[in-house]
Amino acid sequence: MKANKIILPLIIVIAATAFFSIFIVKEINQAIVLQFGDPKRIILKPGLNFKIPFIQNVVFLDKRILNLDTPPEEVIASDQKRLIVDAFARFQIIDPLKFYISVGNERVARSRLSTIINSRIRNVLGQQRLQTLLSEDRSKQMSLIQDGVNNEAENFGIKIVDVRIKRADLPPANSEAIYRRMQTEREREAKEFRAKGAEMAITITSTADKEVTVILADAEKQSEIMKGEGDGQRNKIFADAFGKDPEFFAFYRAMQAYEKSLIGGETSLILSPDSEFFKFFGNIKPKTQ
């Protein structure tokens, strides 16, 4: 019984010692073994490792590429135009010991990097005109920013992989002014387009009216020419016909005259009996009572 009382606590102590002596470094981590706050070992490879229990402790650091969103920063360009720049960066801890000594943890590192990035953005972009910051040349400026941030981040054991501008907006007051100016410009252009359209419409209408007048005049001219030619042809035909039988033609014209003058049945004519108009009726003698 006495042996059991001694062995059981001993097993517990050994198990606790083993438990607090073993630690695992994952593939996404790197570790620093500290002894009373003093770094003793740096472990970069994943696997099972040992430390002195209750004397040493382990600090784990991420060795992946991490993202950092910086707060929006107002930048004044070289032409005194203001711009709200929202940037982000990607960084990696490449020297765990330097990182731990200089900043200690990711929270402090992110705060320091945000300050450095915003300062570098103001320094680089402040030397450029607003038009340059909004053009494709902005990528060159971002390269300068990344190089500058990297120079300072090396002191923290950090490598800046990339720095990008996520959004670049004008301040609200400037945006409203630019919007109103753009609106005024578009309204002016719209008025110019309407005026040009009205002018073109008048030109097209007048040209069409002129063409219509010319076409109608040509048509009337051709019509009169054709009528004249038709009348001439008709007169020629009549003349030829009259020349062949003048008496028949005289009779035919008299019949046409009778038809036109006596149409309706209620026409009254007062003519002399020996009038030329009745020469085809023969001898007309008055009735005897």
Residue 123 parent element (H or E): helix 106-125
Residue 232 parent element (H or E): helix 172-244
- Residues 199-205: contacts with CB within 8 Å, 24+ apart? none
Q: What are the distances in angstroms from CA 242 to CA 106, 229, 248, 249?
A: 126, 19, 8, 6
Tokens 């593939």 sit on residue: 27
Task: Say what the pLDDT of residue 66 is.
Answer: 93
Terminal-to-terminal C-alpha distance of the chain: 188
- Distance between CA atoms of residues 27 and 49, nearest Å: 13
Confirm if 21 and 52 have CB atoms less than 8 A apart. Answer: yes
In the chain, the percentage of residues whose pLDDT exceeds 90 is 24
Q: pLDDT band for position 289 (50/70/90)?
A: very low
Q: Where are the domains of the chain?
A: 2-62, 66-176, 241-281
**pLDDT greater at residue 199 or residue 4:** 199
Q: Residue 156: CA atoms inside 13 Å, Cβ hemisphere, count? A: 23
Q: Residue 283: CA atoms inside 13 Å, Cβ hemisphere, count? A: 2
Q: Structurally, what CATH architecture does the domain formed by 66-176 represent?
A: 2-Layer Sandwich (3.30)
Q: pLDDT band for position 27 (50/70/90)?
A: very high
pLDDT tens digits, 56-111: 899 999 999 999 988 888 877 777 777 788 888 999 999 999 999 999 899 999 99
Q: pLDDT band for position 30 (50/70/90)?
A: very high
Residue 146 gets the label, from left (phi > 0), alpha (psi -120 to 50) or beta, of alpha
Task: Say what the pLDDT of residue 84 is.
Answer: 80
Poorest-confidence range of 9-18, 84-93, 147-156, 157-166? 9-18
Of 115, 119, 110, 24, whose CA–CA distance to 66 is shortest?
110
The pairing of beta strand 22-25 with beta strand 73-76: unpaired
Q: pLDDT band for position 284 (50/70/90)?
A: very low
Mean pLDDT, all residues of the chain: 80
Helix, strand, coil content of the chain in percent (nearest 5)? 55, 20, 20
Q: pLDDT band for position 224 (50/70/90)?
A: confident
